[in-house]
Amino acid sequence: MGTVLSISPASKKASIMDTEATGDGLKNDKSLKRHSMFVSLSWKKLVANSAKKSAKKVTPNPLQPSQVAHLNSENIRKTHQTEEKKPKAPIPVPVPTVPTQNSDSIVQNGRLSTVQKQPSNFSLLSPRRIVIQASTGELLRCLGDYLCRRCYKLKELNSGDVVLWFRNIDRTLLIQGWQDIGFITPANVVFVYLLCQDAITESVSSAAELQGTFQTCLYLAYSYMGNEISYPLKPFITDSNKDVFWDTSLRIIDRLSPKMLQLNADPHFFTEVFQDLKNQALFYHWTSTVSTENTK
């Protein structure tokens, strides 16, 4: 145990005494060591016990699943009882208001007041839907009547000639395989009429000049409204407009591009042009009747 023992020559009694004394010292040392060991073990046990007690105080006991379900059901029941006691009222929703025709709203001193207006004689009317119907042959006839009335200097011109020019080009493109579907439809005839209004003037002096300008309008209409990617120039160019074909085409494009786009995008504008074309037959017959009566 770390104790140094020494033996010296002495008497037997002295040695026995020394031995007894040494034995007593060993016993005392052993007792001290054991006491210190006991104290240290007791201290460790005390510290461990105190830690367990503090842990028990801090950490609560976990609830069982049955207890949790019971508490949840109790909370739900109390919530339903509270909601039943509250008066049920509709949720206020802000509704946008539109000012009427006979009243105006004015803010005065932070308050909104309504001022009545005198009734007006004019009322706002919703636009009516206009339905116009016409066949392709009727619109072609109207187009021919328009050109005959516009080019009044050409006495021998009739509406059938214009329709024949149009149909011959469309038939040629079909036969030669440049298109699979005929181009002549009511919408395309209206488009051609829009181009002719600007391109063909009253100064036309011959049928060949009129045919050249008209076929230039047809080429632009086919290029813009046609079902194919490209079309040949030969059916549209004649000897009378060979030199001025591209100049006339560029002039028409420069002046009528906005209207061409508007005709496809705006239904109201298309309806106006459609109605105008349909009325050309009435104008032509009316002017023909008036001129015949004046001749008589």
pLDDT at 183: 95
pLDDT at 58: 47
Non-local CB neighbours of 132 within 8 Å, separated by 6+ positions: 271, 274, 275, 278
Helix H, strand E, coil C: the string for the chain is: CCCCCCCCCCCHHHHHHHHHHHHHHHHHHHHHHHHHHHHHHHHHHHHHHHHHHHHHHHCCCCCCHHHHHHHHHHHHHHHHHHHHHCCCCCCCCCCCCCCCCCEEEEEECCEEEEEECCCCCCCCCCCCCCCCCCCHHHHHHHHHHHHHHHCCCCCCCCHHHHHHHHHHHHHHHHHCCCCCCCCCCHHHHHHHHHHHHHHCCCCCCCHHHHHHHHHHHHHHHHHHHCCCCCCCCCCCCCCCCCCCHHHHHHHHHHHHHHHHHHHHHCHHHHHHHHHHHHHHHHHHHHHHHHHHHHHC
pLDDT along the chain (296 residues), means of 10: 53 50 51 47 56 52 68 77 60 48 49 50 49 83 93 90 95 94 94 95 90 95 92 89 91 94 94 91 56 49
Read off the pTM.
0.54
pLDDT at 197: 93
pLDDT at 88: 55
What span, in angstroms and rounded, lies between the C-alpha atoms of 86 and 117?
45
pLDDT at 142: 93
- What domains appear along the chain, each with residue ranges and CATH number? 136-271 (1.10.472.10)
pLDDT at 212: 93
pLDDT at 39: 46
